[in-house]
Chains A and B, each alone.
Chain A
Amino acid sequence: MLVAVMALLVCCALLTALSGIPGLYLRAGGGRAAAWLMGAGALAGLAAAALVLAGAGPAAQVLSHTPLGSPGYLRLDPIGAFFLVPVAVLPACGAVFGVGYWGEGHEGARTLRLLYGLTTGFLVVLVAAAHALTFLLAWEGMAVAGFVLVMAEDRDPATRRAGWVYLAATHTGTLCLFAAFGLAAGPGGLFGAGAGGFLFTPAAPGLAATSRGALTFLLFLVGFGFKAGIFPLHFWLPPAHGAAPSHVSSIMSGVVIKMGILGLVRLVALVPDPPLWWGALLVVLGALSGLLGVAFALAQHDLKRLLAYHSIENIGIILLGLGLGTLGKASGHPVLALLGFAGALLHVLNHSLFKGLLFLGAGSVVHATGSRDLERLGGLGHTMPFTAAAFLAGSWAICGLPPLNGFVSEWLIYLAAFQGLAFLHPGWSVLALAALAMIGALAAACFAKVYGVVFQGRARSPEAARAAEVSLAMRAPMGVLACACIGLGAAPLLVAPALARAAAALAGTSEPLALGGIAHLWVLSALALPLAALAVLLWAWSRRRGAHTTGQPTWDCGYAADCPRAQYTASSFADSLVGSLRYVLWPRERRPKLRALFPGPRGYRSHVPDPVLERAAEPGFDLAARGLGVLRFLQGGHLALYLLYILVTLVVLFLWMVA
């Protein structure tokens, strides 16, 4: 059984990693071949995950021949298996979508497919990596392959810039991880001395509370935080996810940033006694990321950038759950730990499903209209009904509204926060509750804006008016993901045993507590049914044939000269909220001043820059570049000069050794 799990996992990794190869030699149909291979790999991965989550026990495999001489080590435990599910599903959906979205006609289609497959392969290895070296190799492979994916349209200067910012950020994060793994190994380190220090083995009690343990945790937090996009380390994320092709954005937002969460989850799982402040810090960072992520999302005009900011928000929600769970683990309350961890893990899965869906929907919109500017879209619900319905399902889920899957995971995190009222300092619970409630309301505002402006009303530009529904290859993956969102929301009990097993592994409790017994998941299903039935009944009643006439223009209090350009825009919809949040968002606006009675044409412009990227990171780097300019004379450009430097260095080292 365990051999089968490992065989399936390796199959999954190889099939996905090599999925782009046939396309290199085929004249046409490379996209289809890649999609089939990715699909087969996904099935193998899902089978492996299902076996482990059904209780087959963790499967392990030592890879004796790795390039750097150290043994590679793969181990698929319940946590890894849980993360393997989105890693298997979403890239396969994206590959099918890519057949229609990024066909042979696109330049670089082959490279993109090759790297897309490779990224997925590295992701599969990463979720099962149980050794620091294997982990870092897969991590870097994923990051570098991701860089090429982001740079797919590198003729656009904005894309090039986004790619370089991404590369710098991800490598800074990796650098922190090197330091953290180094600190964790060795005598006094979290994971002990000797060769075993690089294996992911449970830490001895008491080590996490030392100052070295604290430093290790902080370094891991920064390293993984860069990847996950925790505020304020998120700044690379919106430009990169906006610039990448949509099916690439979908896996980057859906699964790649979750690898940062995976790292934190592994850390919390391995430490039996995390200090309270770990959990508290995670809760605070979660509230910050969640609130600021959604606030900045609200102010965006670019559909894909907006979705990228929502990824930061959802990472915040996941961190809230993870933090509450860690608080529970630290204070010895298994129910609290279970609820928090289960909510966080389920939200990882849910977010990858609905965010993948939303990015694919955004890709369809871009494909059909050629624009991702919200102000130029509109009325697509008439011409692209399928995409509209799928996007609505995704929006519904991401707002956490019942009865879709986003509600279930947020509900678990809410429950954890309410449980925490009794056990913890109530400040953490209140912070989590208020943040979650506010995030929920802001997310609903933001997605009402997106759906309303893109799919409802009437077209605001000729491109939007000419849009047509996308091909079946692009619709099918959206349909699958939408069904998954609805299914998980209506019947969360189906995943409860698997979720409980993964959460128990994280909480460090020996026997899995029955999640269904603690959280009344079945009631949610039982209430989803009458809700849906009532809504459909009332809808049918109100649209009964003969009960209405259609074909009239919008009444709008009798305003006759209606024109699509006079519709409410995304900016106007968000204006009052952006206005009240201006102390946080610092919008740059140019409002026209109307003086005369019959003013001529006036322009209005607003832009909300990213506070970290455009106000801290870029000016900082500019300053550093200018300051370090004085050292430029060292780069003379003569070979002799460089040889001299080498000689001087050697002499200095020699003297130092002698002395």
Chain B
Amino acid sequence: MCEPALARIPQVLVHVLTALLLPPLLPGLINKVKALVAGRQGPPVLQLYYDLAKLARKQAVISRATTWVFLAGPAAVAAAALVASLLVPFGHAPAPVHFEGDMILFAYLFGLARFATVLAALDTGSSFEGMGAAREVTFSVLAEPALFLGFAALAKVSGSLSLSGMLALGGPSLFRATGPLILVLAGWITVYLAENARIPVDDPNTHLELTMIHEVMVLDHSGRPLALALYGASLKLLVLGALIVGPLLPRTGRPWADWAAFYGAMALLAAGVGVVECITARLRLNRVPQFLVAGLLATAFAFFLLQA
């Protein structure tokens, strides 16, 4: 699987550094775009870096109702997301680790992160956090099949069973499968918005509102555990985003140009999420499943288009 080529070392290094350092920039970009569209100045783009640095120095307050799971949750989230970041290609080159069936591990690592977040939330014994946890698991039931049907469609087009292969659709197959690809990406964007707790599924800016999902699950976290939870969430923005921009990126053959294209595409995606948040309202909670079913159907139709 991994050709022992010295030539890959710089590529892998850039990949790992990107996964480690870039994520907190994305929420900053989204918030900046939202502020600009609304005519405000908004917080600095680097705000989350400052927040993380501050939280790392602060004391955490831990409820007496909790057990060790409460602290282990955010750690598991960050660890799972970091390992998942090794499996997904950032643009042109294959991911640092790629093998047949890595997309299954990729999806299940995020399942692991979700399970850990939910258990850490339930550990506080608060019914408010229980609500958030219940919603998170409810919506994931529709998001997971959409993700997998998308994988199936791409696997069928590309003939590859690895993320690095199926996201790198070459010219001819890209032309043959433009329609299905659009549908898959549309389905994945709904998954992206739901998994990252963005509008129209969830509103990351609300506090103390009864319909929150992700924010309410990390309500009792503070200090370093909260820093890990926030970092894990931003990493998820990057890694799942790489899944969406992957098939669309050009392959110029010049590494610096390809990396630039990847960073540009991620910035565009973040800007797009920001614009969506400005121009749409959050869906009523019982409408969210319909939104996700639409995503699921899009990926399913992509598959049927391929068959036709």
Q: Using CB atoms and an 8 Å cutoff, list the residues of chain A in contact with chain B.
A: 378-379, 381-382, 385, 388, 392, 396, 399-402, 407, 410-411, 414-415, 418-419, 421-422, 426, 429-430, 433-434, 436-438, 440-442, 444-445, 447-448, 451-453, 455-458, 519-520, 523-524, 527, 530-532, 534-539, 541-544, 546-557, 559, 562, 564, 566-568, 572-577, 580
Q: Are B126 and A556 in contact (CB under 8 A)?
A: yes
Stretch at the interface among B29-37, B131-139, B197-205, B258-266: B131-139
Q: Indicate whether B267 reaches chain A with its CB closer than 8 angstroms.
A: no
Given contacts A568-B127, A573-B130, contact A456 B119 (CB under 8 A): yes
**CA distance in complex: A441, B136 (Å):** 10
Interface size class of B (residues with CB under 8 A): 35 or more
Q: B78 contacts which chain A residues (CB < 8 A)?
A: 534, 538
Counting chain A CB atoms within 10 Å of each CB, which of B1, B69, B143 scores highest? B69
The contact sample of 11 A-B pairs, CB cut-off 8 A, is A430-B152, A444-B118, A452-B119, A456-B119, A523-B99, A531-B80, A539-B72, A547-B59, A548-B61, A552-B62, A576-B135
Q: A567 contacts which chain B residues (CB < 8 A)?
A: 125-127, 130
Q: A541 contacts which chain B residues (CB < 8 A)?
A: 75, 224
Closest chain B residue to A429, Cβ basis: B152
Q: A414 contacts which chain B residues (CB < 8 A)?
A: 101, 104
Given contacts A421-B152, A421-B156, contact A456 B64 (CB under 8 A): no
Stretch at the interface among B108-116, B240-248, B275-283: B108-116
Q: B71 contacts which chain A residues (CB < 8 A)?
A: 539, 542-543
Q: Are A415 and B100 in contact (CB under 8 A)?
A: yes
Q: Are A444 and B152 in contact (CB under 8 A)?
A: no
Given contacts A458-B125, A531-B79, contact A430 B303 (CB under 8 A): yes
Given contacts A452-B118, A531-B79, A542-B225, contact A457 B123 (CB under 8 A): yes
Q: Are A445 and B69 in contact (CB under 8 A)?
A: no
Counting chain B CB atoms within 10 Å of each CB, which of A381, A453, A536, A568 scores highest? A568
Q: B303 contacts which chain A residues (CB < 8 A)?
A: 426, 430
Q: Indicate whether B159 reaches chain A with its CB closer than 8 angstroms.
A: yes
Cross-chain contact of B111 among A421, A429, A438, A441 (Cβ < 8 A): A441
The 3 A-B pairs of least Cβ separation, nearest first, read: A568-B130, A457-B125, A452-B122
Q: A415-B100, A445-B140, A456-B122 are in contact. List 18 more A-B contacts (CB 8 A).
A: A401-B112, A402-B108, A402-B109, A421-B156, A434-B148, A440-B111, A441-B144, A456-B67, A456-B123, A531-B109, A546-B59, A548-B224, A554-B125, A554-B220, A555-B220, A567-B130, A568-B126, A568-B133
Q: A548 contacts which chain B residues (CB < 8 A)?
A: 59-62, 223-224
Q: Are B137 and A448 in contact (CB under 8 A)?
A: yes
**CA distance in complex: A641, B144 (Å):** 68
Nearest Cβ in chain B — how far from A467, in angstroms? 14
Q: Indicate whether B161 reaches chain A with its CB closer than 8 angstroms.
A: yes
Q: Are B141 and A442 in contact (CB under 8 A)?
A: yes
Q: A437 contacts which chain B residues (CB < 8 A)?
A: 107, 144-145, 147-148
Nearest Cβ in chain A — how far from B220, in angstroms? 5
Q: A553 contacts which chain B residues (CB < 8 A)?
A: 63-65
Q: Are A519 and B109 in contact (CB under 8 A)?
A: no
Q: Are B128 and A557 in contact (CB under 8 A)?
A: yes
Q: Are B131 and A519 in contact (CB under 8 A)?
A: no
Nearest Cβ in chain B — how far from A101, in angstroms? 24
Q: Indicate whether B239 reaches chain A with its CB closer than 8 angstroms.
A: no
Q: Indicate whether B208 reaches chain A with its CB closer than 8 angstroms.
A: yes
Q: Are B59 and A535 in contact (CB under 8 A)?
A: no
Q: B82 contacts which chain A residues (CB < 8 A)?
A: 534
**CA distance in complex: A410, B144 (Å):** 15
Q: Indicate whether B76 reaches chain A with its CB closer than 8 angstroms.
A: yes
Cross-chain contact of B62 among A381, A421, A535, A550 (Cβ < 8 A): A550
Closest chain A residue to B289, Cβ basis: A580
Q: Are B69 and A564 in contact (CB under 8 A)?
A: no
Cross-chain contact of B161 among A418, A547, A575, A577 (Cβ < 8 A): A418
**CA distance in complex: A429, B101 (Å):** 15
Q: Indicate whether B25 reaches chain A with its CB closer than 8 angstroms.
A: no
**CA distance in complex: A315, B126 (Å):** 35
Q: Are B134 and A568 in contact (CB under 8 A)?
A: yes
Closest chain B residue to A404, Cβ basis: B112
**CA distance in complex: A437, B101 (Å):** 14
Q: Using CB atoms and an 8 Å cutoff, list the residues of chain B in contact with chain A.
A: 1, 59-67, 69, 71-72, 74-76, 78-80, 82-83, 86, 97, 99-102, 104-105, 107-109, 111-112, 114-115, 118-119, 122-131, 133-135, 137-138, 140-141, 143-145, 147-149, 151-152, 155-156, 159, 161, 208, 219-220, 223-225, 227-228, 289, 300, 303, 307
Nearest Cβ in chain B — how far from A105, in angstroms? 32
Given contacts A421-B152, A519-B100, A542-B228, contact A556 B59 (CB under 8 A): no
Nearest Cβ in chain A — how far from B160, in angstroms? 10
Q: Are B104 and A411 in contact (CB under 8 A)?
A: yes
Nearest Cβ in chain B — how far from A473, in angstroms? 24
Q: Are B119 and A451 in contact (CB under 8 A)?
A: yes
Nearest Cβ in chain B — how far from A281, in angstroms? 22
Closest chain A residue to B160, Cβ basis: A418
Given contacts A458-B65, A520-B1, contact A527 B83 (CB under 8 A): yes
Q: Are A456 and B69 in contact (CB under 8 A)?
A: yes
Q: Are A573 and B219 in contact (CB under 8 A)?
A: no
**CA distance in complex: A436, B147 (Å):** 12
Q: A554 contacts which chain B residues (CB < 8 A)?
A: 63, 65-66, 124-126, 220
Q: A574 contacts which chain B residues (CB < 8 A)?
A: 134
**CA distance in complex: A575, B127 (Å):** 13
Q: Are A399 and B115 in contact (CB under 8 A)?
A: yes
Cross-chain contact of B124 among A401, A455, A457, A550 (Cβ < 8 A): A457
**CA distance in complex: A178, B66 (Å):** 56
**CA distance in complex: A215, B135 (Å):** 46
Q: Are A379 and B125 in contact (CB under 8 A)?
A: yes
Q: A527 contacts which chain B residues (CB < 8 A)?
A: 83, 86, 97, 105
Given contacts A421-B152, A556-B219, contact A411 B101 (CB under 8 A): yes
Nearest Cβ in chain A — how far from B180, in angstroms? 13
Closest chain B residue to A452, Cβ basis: B122
Q: B79 contacts which chain A residues (CB < 8 A)?
A: 531-532, 534-535, 538
Given contacts A399-B115, A437-B147, A520-B100, contact A547 B60 (CB under 8 A): yes
Q: Are A534 and B127 in contact (CB under 8 A)?
A: no
Nearest Cβ in chain B — how far from A380, in angstroms? 10
**CA distance in complex: A458, B112 (Å):** 24
Q: A519 contacts which chain B residues (CB < 8 A)?
A: 100-101
Q: Are B161 and A419 in contact (CB under 8 A)?
A: yes
**CA distance in complex: A576, B114 (Å):** 18
Given contacts A437-B145, A440-B111, A520-B100, contact A381 B69 (CB under 8 A): yes
Q: B135 contacts which chain A residues (CB < 8 A)?
A: 576
**CA distance in complex: A534, B138 (Å):** 28
Given contacts A456-B67, A531-B83, contact A549 B61 (CB under 8 A): yes
Q: Are A448 and B149 in contact (CB under 8 A)?
A: no
Q: B225 contacts which chain A residues (CB < 8 A)?
A: 542
Q: B62 contacts which chain A residues (CB < 8 A)?
A: 548-550, 552
**CA distance in complex: A636, B47 (Å):** 91
Counting chain B CB atoms within 10 Å of each CB, which of A396, A453, A562, A576 scores highest? A576
Given contacts A400-B108, A402-B105, A535-B75, contact A382 B133 (CB under 8 A): no
Nearest Cβ in chain A — how far from B187, in angstroms? 13
Q: B130 contacts which chain A residues (CB < 8 A)?
A: 452, 567-568, 572-573
Nearest Cβ in chain B — how far from A481, in angstroms? 20
Cross-chain contact of A438 among B76, B102, B138, B144 (Cβ < 8 A): B144
Q: Are A564 and B125 in contact (CB under 8 A)?
A: yes
Q: Are B134 and A572 in contact (CB under 8 A)?
A: yes
Q: Are A547 and B223 in contact (CB under 8 A)?
A: yes
Closest chain B residue to A531, Cβ basis: B83
**CA distance in complex: A534, B78 (Å):** 8
**CA distance in complex: A303, B179 (Å):** 47
Closest chain A residue to B78, Cβ basis: A538
Q: Are B148 and A382 in contact (CB under 8 A)?
A: no
Q: Are B61 and A552 in contact (CB under 8 A)?
A: yes
Nearest Cβ in chain A — how far from B177, in angstroms? 14
**CA distance in complex: A372, B304 (Å):** 46
